């Protein structure tokens, strides 16, 4: 039934959805998902999406929040996908026209009453026909409300100051909205809005109410457990494509094992019928994993441009060191979950051995497990030195180095050859393999460190 309704509406009309943030705060990550789902649905069906600032709360709406929302959408790559932008604060005359029409036909009336402070005043109330309303939600099926419990609800504080429910219905009508895709917390708003639609002669759009985003303990998402501004994730070093990828998977499943998506792939595969009813749990570790996967696929030059702000200035500006940095990028890329990791890695000295001179060797660290004779380790490193000396600078690459060393290491004992080689190059118990280290250090740097380690071993007979 739901599939039939969706198919019929898609055939009868051009799809028009909307993203209507309230500029009373920064763009929350949950609202970013709502924008994305509206965008994916519209683009998948060849439709369009409208951006509308719902700023009827004049006291709390601020320009700085509107700018943050636009900034966040721009960062996510959705800003160019909004062909039209509206502000409710600029549409007072349109609301007044519809409000006057309801008053004229007695579908609304002016009610003189006291406000919360006990002051006399007047509001405009909708004359409730007290009927039952049933609508079909694309995600939740048929939903029925008895509107008697709503009473005659307020739709305006004055003829020039309408409230949310009335402005939303008028806007959706005037803008030709075909589908309303929003959070499930808006389900309770739907009966009021349908009553207003009927009163102003507006067609009923198709509704789809998205599951809420929950914390791991299935409580409502809060700032404590992930509900921060979208731009905060940018400051933490997340990629916009990773944020979009992760948000799409919060409540939607493509029905396959695929987890990493580009935006174009999301558009192609998005099916609103595959949105789940249950709340979607926000998992920051899963977001980090998705971000890491997207970082892995960045071209080196793109990755370098992104992380340059996190790299020490001395390395960034020193031409001689830049060559090592370019070679080191794949190592950094492999270890990075979010871009801020890069600064932490450099601050902790994780890559200092690539750029700084090494201190004297600790002989014990150069020896492999049970092989406690420095002279034998020196002999193996000398053979490595000899093999590498014969490789031209042009061919001094990870693959070529491994190809030349591998047979010797296999015959002489891989651990007994590769461990002292790696430690000689890095002085670290944990580091990239010696072939990667050699390629990054270059032929001259590699041979210099091997020579120094061999000399240290030859000067110690036993340990």
In a domain, 463, yes or no: no
Looking at the structure, do residues 178 and 69 belong to the same domain, yes or no?
A: yes
Specify the residue for token string 């994305």: 36
For residue 444, is it left (φ>0), alpha (ψ between -120 and 50) or beta? alpha
Same domain? 391 vs 453? yes
d(CA 441, CA 254): 45
Per residue of the chain (463 residues), what is the pLDDT tens digit?
445 444 544 444 599 999 999 999 999 999 999 999 999 999 999 999 999 999 988 889 999 999 999 999 999 998 766 777 899 999 999 999 999 999 999 999 999 988 777 788 899 999 999 999 999 999 999 999 999 999 999 999 999 999 999 999 999 999 999 999 999 999 999 999 999 999 999 999 999 999 999 888 888 776 666 558 999 999 999 999 999 999 999 999 998 999 999 999 999 999 999 999 999 899 999 999 999 999 999 999 999 999 888 988 888 888 778 888 888 999 999 999 999 999 999 999 999 999 989 999 999 999 998 777 899 999 999 999 999 999 999 999 999 999 999 999 999 999 999 999 999 999 998 899 999 999 999 999 999 999 999 999 998 755 4
Claim to verify: residue 348 and residue 400 sit in the same structural domain = no
Cα separation, 243 vs 30, whole angstroms? 11
For residue 430, the domain's CATH number is 1.10.10.350
Q: What are the angstrom distances between the C-alpha of 311 and each of 83, 307, 322, 345, 366? A: 38, 7, 11, 9, 30
Residues 73 and 27 sit within 8 Å (Cβ to Cβ)? yes
Indicate if 162 and 229 belong to the same structural domain: no
Structural domain for 343, as ranges: 300-355
| Whether residue 126 is found in the same domain as residue 141 | yes
Residue 195, helix vs strand vs coil: helix
Same-domain pairing of 171 and 59: yes
Tell whether 121 is covered by a domain: yes
Q: Are residues 382 and 342 in the same domain?
A: no
Domain-ending residue, one of 316, 338, 355: 355
Same domain, 239 and 371: no
**Whether residue 127 sits in one domain with residue 230:** no
- At 256, phi and psi to the nearest 5? -130, 180
Strand partners, 110: 124
Say yes or no: 33 and 141 in one domain: yes
- Name the 3-class secondary structure at 127: coil
Residues 205 and 241 in one domain: no
Considering only CA atoms, give the Rg of the chain: 32
* Distance separating alpha carbons of residues 35 and 74, to the nearest angstrom: 12
Q: Which of 253, 278, 296 is the last residue of a domain?
A: 296
- Domain end point (choices 151, 184, 211): 211
DSSP code for 185? G
What distance in Å separates the CA atoms of residue 311 and residue 318, rounded to the nearest whole number? 12
Q: Clarify whether residues 290 and 405 are in a common domain.
A: no
Does residue 217 form part of some domain? no
Number of folded domains that form the chain: 4
pTM: 0.88
């Amino acid at each position: 039934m739901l599939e039939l309704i969706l198919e019929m509406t898609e055939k009868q009309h051009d799809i028009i959805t909307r993203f209507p943030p309230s500029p009373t705060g920064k763009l929350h990550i949950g609202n970013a998902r709502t924008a994305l789902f509206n965008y994916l649905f519209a683009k998948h069906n060849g439709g369009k999406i409208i951006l509308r600032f719902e700023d009827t709360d004049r006291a709390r709406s601020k320009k700085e929040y509107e700018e943050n929302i636009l900034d966040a959408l721009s960062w996510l790559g959705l800003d160019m996908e909004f062909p039209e932008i509206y502000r409710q604060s600029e549409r007072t005359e349109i609301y007044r026209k519809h409000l006057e029409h309801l008053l004229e036909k007695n579908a609304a009336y002016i009610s003189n009453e006291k406000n919360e402070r006990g002051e006399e005043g007047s509001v405009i109330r909708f004359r409730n026909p007290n009927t039952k309303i049933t609508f079909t939600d694309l995600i939740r099926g048929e939903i029925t409300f008895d509107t008697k419990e709503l009473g005659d609800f307020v739709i305006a504080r004055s003829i020039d100051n309408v409230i949310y429910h009335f402005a939303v219905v008028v806007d959706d009508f005037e803008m030709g909205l075909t589908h309303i895709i929003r959070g499930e917390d808006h389900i309770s708003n739907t009966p009021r809005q349908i009553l207003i639609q009927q009163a102003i002669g507006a067609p009923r759009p198709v509704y789809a109410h998205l599951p809420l985003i929950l914390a791991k303990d299935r409580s409502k998402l809060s700032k404590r457990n992930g509900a921060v501004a979208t731009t905060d994730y940018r400051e933490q070093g997340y990629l916009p494509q990773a944020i979009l990828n992760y948000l799409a998977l919060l409540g939607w499943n493509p029905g396959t094992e695929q987890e990493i998506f580009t935006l174009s792939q999301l558009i192609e595969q998005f099916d609103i019928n595959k949105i789940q009813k249950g709340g979607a749990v926000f998992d920051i570790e899963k977001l980090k994993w998705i971000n890491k996967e997207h970082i892995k696929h960045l071209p080196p030059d793109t990755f370098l441009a992104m992380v340059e702000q996190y790299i020490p200035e001395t390395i960034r500006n020193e031409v001689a060191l830049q060559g090592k940095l370019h070679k080191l990028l794949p190592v950094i890329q492999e270890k990075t979950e979010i871009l801020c990791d890069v600064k932490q890695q450099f601050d902790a000295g994780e890559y200092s051995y690539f750029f700084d001179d090494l201190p004297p060797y600790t002989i014990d660290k150069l020896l492999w497990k049970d092989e406690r004779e420095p002279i034998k380790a020196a002999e193996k490193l000398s053979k490595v030195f000899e093999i590498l000396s014969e490789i031209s600078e042009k061919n001094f690459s990870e693959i070529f180095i491994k190809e030349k060393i591998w047979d010797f290491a296999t015959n002489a004992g891989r651990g007994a050859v590769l461990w002292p080689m790696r430690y000689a190059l890095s002085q670290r118990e944990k580091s990239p393999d010696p072939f990667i280290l050699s390629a990054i250090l270059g032929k001259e740097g590699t041979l210099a460190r091997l020579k120094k380690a061999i000399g240290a071993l030859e000067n110690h007979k036993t340990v």
